[in-house]
Structure 1
Amino acid sequence: MSLTGKGPRIERFGDIAEVIPLPNLTEIQVNSFRAFLQSDKAPEDRENVGLQSAFKEVFPIDETEKGRSTGLVLDYLEYRLGEPPYTPEECREKDVTYQAPMYAKLQLIHKDSGLIKEDQVFLGDLPLMTEDGSFVINGADRVIISQIHRSPGVYFTSSYKGIKKMYTGAIIPMPKRGPWIELEFAGGILEMKVNKRKFPVAMLLRVLGYDDASLKALFTEFEPDMELPEDKSAGMGADEALLRLFTVLRPGDPPKRDKAVQYLYGLLADPRRYDLGEPGRFKMNTKLGVQREERTLLNFQDGKFTDAGLVDTIRYLMALQYGRETVGMADADGVLHDVPVSEDDIDHLGNRRVRTVGELLADQLRVGMGRMARGVRERMLLGNPDAATPTKLVNNRPIVAAMREFFGRSQLSQFKDQTNPLSDLRHKRRISALGPGGLTRERAGFDVRDVHRTHYGRICPIETPEGANIGLISSLASYAKVNDLGFIEAPYRRVENGLVTNDVVYMTADIEDRYTVAQANSPLNEDGTFSDERVLARRKGDPLWYTPEEVDFMDVSPKQIVSINTSLIPFLEHDDANRALMGSNMQSQAVPLVRADSPAVGTGVERRVVTDSGTSVVSDVTGRVSYVDARVIQITLTEDAPALGLNVGNVRTFETVRFTRSNQGTNLDQHPIVDTGDMVTAGQVIADGPASDLGRLALGQNITIAIMPFDGFNFEDAICISEGLVRKDFYTSVHIEKDEIEARDTKLGPEKITRDIPGLSEAALRDLDEDGIVRVGAEVKPGDILVGKTSFKGESEPTPEERLLRSIFGEKAREVKDTSLRVQSGQGGIVVKTVRFRRGDEGVDLKPGVREMVRVYVAQKRQLQVGDKVANRHGNKGVVSKIMAPEDMPYLEDGTPVDLVFNPLGVPSRMNLGQILETHLGEVARLTGQKFETPVFDSVTEATIKEMLEVAAAERLQKRKDDGFELDKREQEVLDRAGKVGVVDAPNGDYERAQMQLARTGKSVLYDGRSGEPISGPVVVGTMYVMKLYHMVEDKLHARSTGPYSLITQQPLGGKAQFGGQRFGEMEVWALEAYGAAHVLQEMLTIKSDDIDGRDAAYQSIVKGEEVSGSTIPESFKVLVKELHSLGLDVEVLDNGDKSVDIFEGMMPKR
């Protein structure tokens, strides 16, 4: 049975046991933010990461400038977060941010007197993450996506100069935490490049205390007989070399020792300004085979600079250049050991790391706090030191501004995709190479976009956008995790002496390269040993046959290669990757339907998507349901209550969300699926959300399809559907549009929301309440009023006569105009909710100058119609071209009409055969009334499907016999024809055998509903899961008679959003020119277009019934003349008598 005990029976295929369940699918977001906050730890136990590291880096703040010191130091003790004033739901309702106040305990120390002043300082509000891994910013859900970038550390690459292979080294710090350093050979001299300035490395080494002899020993270590090029710094001491280096790096500044020391310290030795970070030092230690703790490149002690990894990098680079295989490095105890020397692959996932939300936020806070620290220093210098307190010194505005900028404007902060639960989940698992400090679309080449062998089990090779972002935006693989250093890890089962254990190890890509890893589908005996003498396994991505003893690890699951989206495609292994990519992406565009139906052929991942996406209600306790209605579910706790710190018998209440608008306008609605008295376990879905059916993901409908040509209705991917789907509301969805209007204080007077609107009939106002706001439940059409609003008209200066009349008869009521909110064209539906915000209401934050705001939600029920886009999970997509009556659709021998007809030409060239196997297994599901789960790369075999089809066919034939039905003569003809083309063996009169054979092929005899005649050959008929996508014709259809015009050219605007169109453009002009329709064309280009005076005159003539007069000069001609003037060409317009005509008369001052 299904897990809830409700719904059809679900049978699972697949031979490979699941060793570990899928991890929490939103943990990349949630864990990162939790590590950033560390709010569950006591202040003294907090690690130096996230928020804590940002504080530690900026504080203590002291000020000593030009020898003048104030003797003040502002130090940091701890931070704490207050309680958020509103819940996420209230924030969405009130258009505010879900955030908590952030306080820091700071102390101001007077160095001279030793006096300490301690204060709790408010540093602004910090946006908080909701339980499902998103943020609510100004009432809208947003997601911070993770960024993948080149890991800090040291890299060695090669390029050819002529025929010689030259190696270069690069030392990369954390983003924006110091300069990139490049080391390369130029004419035999090893040069260093910092901030686009080059100098010989020898010069910096002299600063570190190297003399001529030690430099010679270093440079001739790998080539003792080599002749060194002339050293211009020969004989220099450390101080002299430092000044020479300073003049290279800062050519404009006078060389002074203290200035030079300060500059070099800030460049490479100051932990606040140059930081390799933990990942950078880890990568450097791993590459060079050393053990160092420092996160800078140089150390500075007792007025001297010393090495912290630079010399090791130089030695490694020289070993590479001189063709050595190893280089001797000293460990922490000074013991020498050989380190293998190799070039780096910069696209290897061991060299790329992921910056998750916590790190991105910490970076942003660091920026804000840095600006705040500058302000503190200024106030320390300018103010009275004795009167200073932490609160007076600290201004939190820079921190607030940095946070607002990050959440509002960063490329990595995105409007959450809430089309369906899967798109929601996929958005949180996105990994982007774009964004601040990342790549740009234009600069990214093929290598960085390509699939790399290290993507295996870490990044999905299939799911990525199709356009300019292909390969730059990708998705985390199903089981992948991001470790503390930001490297992506994949899980593997440990193999010991040929025995596969259930001990699961998570490994990064560079660690995996050391081992031999077997496939998840390698056959095993019951005791866990490999059943074959040779095992197909891979080492560094190369597949080879190994003995069981040579294998170190084994994949955890076949689906660990692909992302969650891709793992939802059944029979994925039979689809071409390009079409699987489209299928993965299109599942995220599926619109939640009114009648949710989980797939008859699923993969087993559907349940986890619903539980982890946060769109359904999932119980976090075990107990018995004590009360259920549409809005509330109450569960009385049983055995696991003590573990939660609660008592047995305590009641846990869950509230459902009803008819709420998502970011994309789809309907977020939850409804209970448990009854009073049901036992519920922790982690069980108790209320279905959008696109969820008894806790399983339900993006589309299981419908009967045929794959056959159909009178051209399915030409070029067009799709013919049955009207039955529309009548039964199979593809009906609810969409909610949000409209709002503001009443402002204007110069002419305040705007007013009212029912009293001038010049409107009572019929136009019938659905408005006494305040002028539409009633809930009203049906509205384009042009109807949603909110009545009046604004004062601008008054011209009254004439003396009017002034006289006003003084006699008193001030007349000022005139108002109708500025009401109306339903836009192409919209309409039922009003489901209205909200009114007034200035001064609690928690309401309106823009300056706005007195009140009214928001109206209008719901629209959309049925499937011609022009809507539908698709299956295998990338077969198309537009509905015809909706036919069910009786005209092809039907099976038992009278079942087909719901949809796909074009057979859409299958072979696209090589997505998974859809054919899905249709065959779906046919078994239709005939037996059950559902199937067939995991990716571990699917049910074709032989099994054939057997199941045969069994189902045998039952059907027996029923036909029992009911007394004979085999139709026309059916016999089709079977004979099938025998001739080899689909079945020639029947030779044994039609029962032929029917059984035909059933094994998954094909059926189909009849044309219009003629009743059988289709000439057997046709593939079965059940396929088909989705309606977000691209609906209703949103795209657009028409205009008149509308807005561009101010410059006086021509119509373009696009639906601007209500544009009907522009007689360049190509339309060619068409009329081709016909020689000169007079029509002249009208089109003048009085029907942008000849303002001419069109006014023409309108007057039409009203008065006179003949339309000639045209004047069109506006676009005036623009052309002005553009020629701007190019310095003096263009004049002449009349018949060659006299100059001023076409700009009255428009602008004379030149």
Structure 2
Amino acid sequence: MAASRTSAPTAADIAARTASRRINFAKIPEPMQAPNLLALQTESFDWLVGNSTWRQRVNAANAERPDSLPSTSGLEEIFDEISPIEDFGETMALSFHDHRFEDPKYTAEECQEKDLTYSAPLYVVADFENFQTGEIKSQTVFMGDFPLMTDKGTFIVNGSERVVVSQLVRSPGVYFERATEKATDKYVYNAKFIPSRGAWLEFEIDKNDHVAVRVDRKRKQDITVFLLALGMDEAEIREEFKAYPALTSVLDEDRKVTTQDEALLDIYKKIRPGEPPSVEAGRTLLENFYFNPKRYDLAKVGRYKINKKLGLAADLADSVLRIEDITAAIKYLLALHAGEESVEGVRDGEIVEVAVEFDDIDHLGNRRIRAVGELIQSQVRTGMSRMERQVRERMTTQDVEAITPNTLINIRPVTAAIKEFFGTSQLSQFMDQNNPLAGMTHKRRLSALGPGGLSRERASMDVRDVHTSHYGRMCPIESPEGPNIGLIGSLATFARINPFGFVETPYRVVRDGEITDETLYLTADDEDRHVIAQANVELTEDSHHFVEDRVLCRVTGGEPALVAAAEVDLMDVSPRQMVSVGTSLIPFLEHDDANRALMGANMQRQAVPLIRPDAPLVGTGMERRTAVDAGDVLVATKPGVVTEVCADFVRVANDDGSETVYKVAKFRRSNQGNCYNQLVVANEGEHVEAGSVLADGPATEGGDLALGQNLLVAFMTWEGLNYEDAIIISQRVVAEDLLTSIHIEEHEVDARDTKLGAEEITRDIPNVSEETLANLDERGIVRIGAEVRSGDILVGKVTPKGETELTSEERLLRAIFGEKAREVRDTSLRVPHGEYGIVTGVREFDASSEDAELPAGVNRMVRVYIAQRRKITVGDKLSGRHGNKGVISKINPVEDMPFLADGTPVDVILNPLGVPSRMNVGQVLELHLGWVASRGWDASAARKAGEEWALRLPENGVSAEPRTPVATPVFDGVRGDELMGLLSSALPNPEGLDLVQPDGKARLFDGRSGEPFPYPISVGYMYILKLHHLVDDKIHARSTGPYSMITQQPLGGKAQFGGQRFGEMEVWAMEAYGAAHALQELLTVKSDDVNGRVKVYEAIVKGQDIPEPGIPESFKVLMKEMQSLCLNVEALDHEGNVIGLDDADDDGRRASEELGFDLGRRPGGVLLSTVDEI
């Protein structure tokens, strides 16, 4: 009967169920693997620090194609830029070279434990040269501790793991735009030089065909004035622009400015009005704006873009503007205005015609990625430029004879800039460690926000929208649902970043209609010139030729068109190339509406790791790759034999004679409070290859990503309890801990030095019963294994009270007992309201120990870890992978759940109305394929009979045993006829019953009556995730608690132990019912009538009648507000007498003194023992 369900897998089963056993239904062979999914982070940081990994990569790439990668690291660039630092008289200079890193003081794990930053000391050789004496002093200078990236692409800053998100920004270069002037409907043409650092330069042709220039975004000026100021004379201007009378005609008019000096004065007056103009000042101004490398920097990428756009051949090292760039840009703009199709230019040393076209700023050819290395580099550059100023000042103030590099250099600005970036930058974020996929997606995130980027308030629809150039580069689906939609995206699976920061995607090369296995990475603007076929175009059996004569392709501008096969020159490498890692984990994505797919991709990241991970029966083939690349699965780095297996390490004797010990993480707390635990799956004596899985991480099974559970799902209504997406689950799911997760909370307390004396961690706490102290050891710290609830003491701590005038009796006590009688107050660490669990760990830090690095003034710090085992419960949020989310409304006894003909009860009941309007049909197809995978199938008879669907099955997929995991890759998975065929060839159960019909529906029986339901119902296995939105974190109630200082109303929110807000609309409802007394009570004694609420509490405790309400504090606040506006407002009673309004503090204090307790303190802090005396 129900026992026919397979039992929980053993360790041997888990080891056997690896990704290699997953049957893949893909039809299209891929010529290449997806690149390393963390390369976006690791390669960028390797370039910054210039380590050996980066050197090897550069040497390999440049050996294949010279100058394909830059051979200068990020830090080398900065030291070269800043060197030499000369004094104001140019008599001495300081230069830097040969930086190096020493080994980090602590490992990454130790830094996490001790709240330190994982970093290595950076040293650089500094040379001080005195030009007058020719003397050179050389020293190795310590430049501070430089944060290092871990192998997982993260940084550990003050003990917490952080990720630096890559930024998507407008690339430096030259841009041409056309806008329509609203008043006249005429076109206005615009050209802009946008540098990486420095002033903008803009040219404009207005509605009257007048060419103007705007220097540093100031007032418009005539273009000829600017050209004269640059040193061109009238004859040169006429010769250069003879083809464009719109510009040369200006020279024929009567003009005030005819010489370079006059032009410089004119420009200076307009840019610096109010300052005395001079020719030299004008020349210096222009020089600093556009021709001084210290003030203006196009960066290599800006120079590359200008060369490409204008057809120039300038060296990439030319980081400032040249007159040739300016004249070429003006010509290009005039050609646009004249409607010309091309201008003459140079490419690869040859004269070519350069196409004249407008720029689309949202095109990915014009937006680039600033990855982690570049972001840190720009921060270091800022720090170094601050240091440069200080060095110059010290050169002038110090004695020349005594100067050494060490005396000149102050590293504080550099270390402060780095610290500021990691601590406060919008792009340095607390890592999302909810599950391996969440961390992976966080590292591959692209953000248009942040310094130098957009702000969400100003971002238009155009910026947020999906663009044709995103294809294969940025996922069109994965993006947040809120105000950041479209501004934060995710890198596509096969995409990579080129040295200039542009996103590239790979294509297969097609020559004369023949598809080769050669791949080519292209940027978005290079791709525009090609005709590209999609990956799922029909091919001949040899996979190298198109079947059809005309192929559906993507042509210029991303538009689809039917093209002759011979004209195709590129083809996609994979059908999943357009989507991100998270989206590629959704099976049958092609059958889901994009809105729901977005929710599905986002909700997978919210899945909580379960204590019994279960890899999906229906996957997409990306599960193993994602889990391994995320770094949470322990993999062997070298081939060898496992010699020792322990809970917290695995020892492997490598084939090369060396030995490696792999550490296994046990029950750590993740950033999101989940349990980070690794479980060894390798066996002693087993031979492992490089890349073999040694230990599973959180939410992985056998090396595959396992975010949820395969549960038997039925689409049907049940007593109306699954109305509005509510979900009904079986008690079996709770009893067998299928959706149980462990959550670990960290609580910290420190003992500091105060003005009145040192705080003390102790068991000796005043006014606390022995029963309350039962779980504390002699030091006053809770014992490991103790079960604690809210209000329980975790660490006993006392703080000295302010000394008061002692009575003679107290002085006698003090004389007899000494310090013991000293007045202290209880400031112990207690379990916060609503929390519970078992103490799993205690960590102590003492300032007296050598390796403890505590903040100043802290003598001792204690951390307590409390673990909760949270079973699934009513109110928890579940979801599938298709955006099909809901909240549990009822947990039914197993015997009440609908069951199949063999007695197997279903685990989950979903509402069928959740499918049609949401258009996420992928969940239904997953359900059917899940049933086939759970039962196994045999399609050999259909294959022999020559049925087309069976012939398309992979060789290892003609038949399969029960519970065989399958993969249906996105856009290349199981087709409709294959699914129907597989359902009809599913294996019967042990009794020989076909429980589900070939159409995927089954006859279900009512668990309560045993009667069959009148119609067949869709039943199958679906992958269900338990999301982080847990009811235990949200449910909250309060009777008394803290109040706002000003209004004296209860605070809001669970974190503040606040009350429920009875708002404006709720008041209207009470008014509508005429419930005047209830309403008065809500607005006074239950809220901000300070005196009244204390008296009500007293009345309840004493069993008396509730007294009349008084005046609410908010009314007093209103009166004070009006009095502050010079309005004399008084409150009068029925007889017209003035009512005295005391201060709330006085009311509360008086009431507290009368009654002997304070209502405004939190639970755990309220001394309610005094209530008995009332």
TM-score (norm 1): 0.91
Supply the distance in 1 between the matched residues of 2:1005 and 2:14 (Cα, whole angstroms): 39
Deviation at 1:455, TM superposition (A): 0.8
* Contact 1:142–1:414 (Cα < 8 Å) also in 2: yes
User: Structure 1 residue 77 and structure 2 residue 97: aligned?
Assistant: yes
User: Structure 1 residue 921 and structure 2 residue 942: aligned?
Assistant: no
Supply the distance in 1 between the matched residues of 2:1144 and 2:606 (Cα, whole angstroms): 55
Supply the distance in 2 between the matched residues of 1:1040 and 1:529 (Cα, whole angstroms): 72
Supply the distance in 2 between the matched residues of 1:837 and 1:11 (Cα, whole angstroms): 52
CA deviations 1:833-871 (Å, max 9, x no partner) are 110011133343222221111001111101110000000
Stretch of structure 1 that moved more, 418-427 or 542-551 = 542-551
Residue equivalent to 1:1047: 1045
Match of 1:50 among 74, 79, 93: 74
The structure-2 alpha-carbon separation of the partners of 1:280 and 1:76, relative to structure 1 and needing over 3 Å to count, comes to same
User: Structure 1 residue 266 and structure 2 residue 299: aligned?
Assistant: no
Supply the distance in 1 between the matched residues of 2:320 and 2:742 (Cα, whole angstroms): 63
* Contact 2:747–2:865 (Cα < 8 Å) also in 1: yes
User: Structure 1 residue 376 and structure 2 residue 391: aligned?
Assistant: yes
CA deviations 1:357-379 (Å, max 9, x no partner) are 00000000111111111111122
Secondary structure of the 1:890 match is coil
Residue equivalent to 2:634: 617
Residue equivalent to 2:1162: none
Supply the distance in 1 between the matched residues of 2:265 and 2:801 (Cα, whole angstroms): 73
Residue equivalent to 1:251: 273
CA deviations 1:724-771 (Å, max 9, x no partner) are 111011001111110101111111211111111122222222221111
Structure 2 unmatched runs, 5+ = 1-11, 60-69, 937-961, 1147-1174
Supply the distance in 1 between the matched residues of 2:30 and 2:1106 (Cα, whole angstroms): 82
Deviation at 1:484, TM superposition (A): 0.4
Deviation at 1:126, TM superposition (A): 0.8
Deviation at 1:381, TM superposition (A): 2.0
CA deviations 1:336-361 (Å, max 9, x no partner) are 54322111111111111010000000
Supply the distance in 2 between the matched residues of 1:342 and 1:817 (Cα, whole angstroms): 76
The structure-2 alpha-carbon separation of the partners of 1:1082 and 1:229, relative to structure 1 and needing over 3 Å to count, comes to farther
User: Structure 1 residue 502 and structure 2 residue 524: aligned?
Assistant: no
* Contact 2:210–2:246 (Cα < 8 Å) also in 1: no
2:579 counterpart letter in structure 1: V
Residue equivalent to 1:309: 325
* Contact 1:275–1:295 (Cα < 8 Å) also in 2: no
Deviation at 1:811, TM superposition (A): 7.9
* Contact 2:747–2:863 (Cα < 8 Å) also in 1: yes
Residue equivalent to 2:403: 388
Supply the distance in 1 between the matched residues of 2:893 and 2:86 (Cα, whole angstroms): 81
* Contact 1:592–1:691 (Cα < 8 Å) also in 2: yes
The structure-2 alpha-carbon separation of the partners of 1:683 and 1:180, relative to structure 1 and needing over 3 Å to count, comes to farther
Residue equivalent to 2:1014: 1016
1:466 counterpart letter in structure 2: E
Residue equivalent to 1:474: 489
CA deviations 1:555-596 (Å, max 9, x no partner) are 101010100111111111111111111110111110111111
* Contact 1:722–1:883 (Cα < 8 Å) also in 2: yes
The structure-2 alpha-carbon separation of the partners of 1:621 and 1:70, relative to structure 1 and needing over 3 Å to count, comes to same
Stretch of structure 1 that moved more, 1035-1044 or 522-531 = 522-531
Residue equivalent to 1:133: 153
Supply the distance in 2 between the matched residues of 1:945 and 1:359 (Cα, whole angstroms): 49
Deviation at 1:671, TM superposition (A): 1.0
Supply the distance in 1 between the matched residues of 2:308 and 2:1081 (Cα, whole angstroms): 77
Deviation at 1:1137, TM superposition (A): 6.9
Supply the distance in 1 between the matched residues of 2:282 and 2:1065 (Cα, whole angstroms): 67
Deviation at 1:900, TM superposition (A): 0.3
User: Structure 1 residue 571 and structure 2 residue 588: aligned?
Assistant: yes
* Contact 1:294–1:308 (Cα < 8 Å) also in 2: no
Residue equivalent to 1:635: 652
Supply the distance in 2 between the matched residues of 1:808 and 1:575 (Cα, whole angstroms): 81
Match runs of 1:635-1034 below 5 Å: 635-638=652-655, 648-798=656-806, 813-928=821-936, 929=962, 930-952=964-986, 955-956=988-989, 959-960=992-993, 999-1034=997-1032
User: Structure 1 residue 33 and structure 2 residue 45: aligned?
Assistant: yes
Deviation at 1:927, TM superposition (A): 1.2
User: Structure 1 residue 517 and structure 2 residue 532: aligned?
Assistant: yes
Supply the distance in 1 between the matched residues of 2:55 and 2:517 (Cα, whole angstroms): 36
* Contact 1:744–1:849 (Cα < 8 Å) also in 2: yes
Supply the distance in 1 between the matched residues of 2:798 and 2:1129 (Cα, whole angstroms): 48
Supply the distance in 1 between the matched residues of 2:400 and 2:55 (Cα, whole angstroms): 33
Amino-acid identity (%):
50
Stretch of structure 1 that moved more, 792-801 or 864-873 = 792-801
Secondary structure of the 2:87 match is strand
User: Structure 1 residue 543 and structure 2 residue 560: aligned?
Assistant: yes
* Contact 1:72–1:385 (Cα < 8 Å) also in 2: no
Secondary structure of the 1:1116 match is helix
Match of 1:327 among 333, 343, 355: 343
CA RMSD of the aligned region, Å? 2.7
* Contact 2:200–2:217 (Cα < 8 Å) also in 1: no
Secondary structure of the 1:999 match is coil
User: Structure 1 residue 146 and structure 2 residue 205: aligned?
Assistant: no
Supply the distance in 1 between the matched residues of 2:725 and 2:820 (Cα, whole angstroms): 67
Residue equivalent to 2:1118: 1120
Supply the distance in 2 between the matched residues of 1:545 and 1:457 (Cα, whole angstroms): 21
Supply the distance in 1 between the matched residues of 2:151 and 2:193 (Cα, whole angstroms): 39
* Contact 1:792–1:815 (Cα < 8 Å) also in 2: yes
1:952 counterpart letter in structure 2: A
Supply the distance in 2 between the matched residues of 1:556 and 1:918 (Cα, whole angstroms): 26
Supply the distance in 1 between the matched residues of 2:427 and 2:247 (Cα, whole angstroms): 54
1:194 counterpart letter in structure 2: V
CA deviations 1:904-950 (Å, max 9, x no partner) are 10101111111111111111112121121111111112222222221
* Contact 2:531–2:553 (Cα < 8 Å) also in 1: yes
Supply the distance in 2 between the matched residues of 1:381 and 1:233 (Cα, whole angstroms): 48
Match runs of 1:15-26 below 5 Å: 15-26=27-38
Supply the distance in 2 between the matched residues of 1:24 and 1:330 (Cα, whole angstroms): 37
* Contact 2:759–2:800 (Cα < 8 Å) also in 1: yes
CA deviations 1:135-192 (Å, max 9, x no partner) are 0000000000100011111111111122222211111111x44435354436433222
Secondary structure of the 2:100 match is strand
* Contact 2:506–2:522 (Cα < 8 Å) also in 1: yes
* Contact 1:135–1:141 (Cα < 8 Å) also in 2: yes
2:86 counterpart letter in structure 1: D
Match runs of 1:412-431 below 5 Å: 412-431=427-446
The structure-2 alpha-carbon separation of the partners of 1:298 and 1:1067, relative to structure 1 and needing over 3 Å to count, comes to closer
Residue equivalent to 1:586: 603
Match of 2:358 among 319, 343, 360: 343
Secondary structure of the 1:763 match is coil
Residue equivalent to 1:436: 451
Stretch of structure 1 that moved more, 29-38 or 508-517 = 508-517
The structure-2 alpha-carbon separation of the partners of 1:1110 and 1:725, relative to structure 1 and needing over 3 Å to count, comes to closer
User: Structure 1 residue 172 and structure 2 residue 194: aligned?
Assistant: yes
* Contact 1:298–1:310 (Cα < 8 Å) also in 2: no
Deviation at 1:1093, TM superposition (A): 4.0
Task: Figure out how many residues of one structure are paired with residues of the other and give that number.
Answer: 1091
CA deviations 1:606-643 (Å, max 9, x no partner) are 000111001110111011111112111111112xxxxx
Secondary structure of the 1:406 match is helix
Secondary structure of the 2:977 match is helix
Supply the distance in 1 between the matched residues of 2:634 and 2:813 (Cα, whole angstroms): 70
Stretch of structure 1 that moved more, 426-435 or 285-294 = 285-294
Deviation at 1:250, TM superposition (A): 1.5
Match runs of 1:62-141 below 5 Å: 62-64=86-88, 69=89, 71-141=91-161
CA deviations 1:288-339 (Å, max 9, x no partner) are 111112666866xxxxxx6140110001001101111122346797x85432
1:706 counterpart letter in structure 2: A
2:643 counterpart letter in structure 1: S
The structure-2 alpha-carbon separation of the partners of 1:130 and 1:182, relative to structure 1 and needing over 3 Å to count, comes to farther
Supply the distance in 1 between the matched residues of 2:262 and 2:245 (Cα, whole angstroms): 29
Secondary structure of the 1:653 match is strand
CA deviations 1:1077-1101 (Å, max 9, x no partner) are 4455444444443233444566667
TM-score (norm 2): 0.89
Supply the distance in 1 between the matched residues of 2:14 and 2:732 (Cα, whole angstroms): 31
Structure 1 unmatched runs, 5+ = 300-305, 639-647, 961-994
Stretch of structure 1 that moved more, 320-329 or 668-677 = 320-329
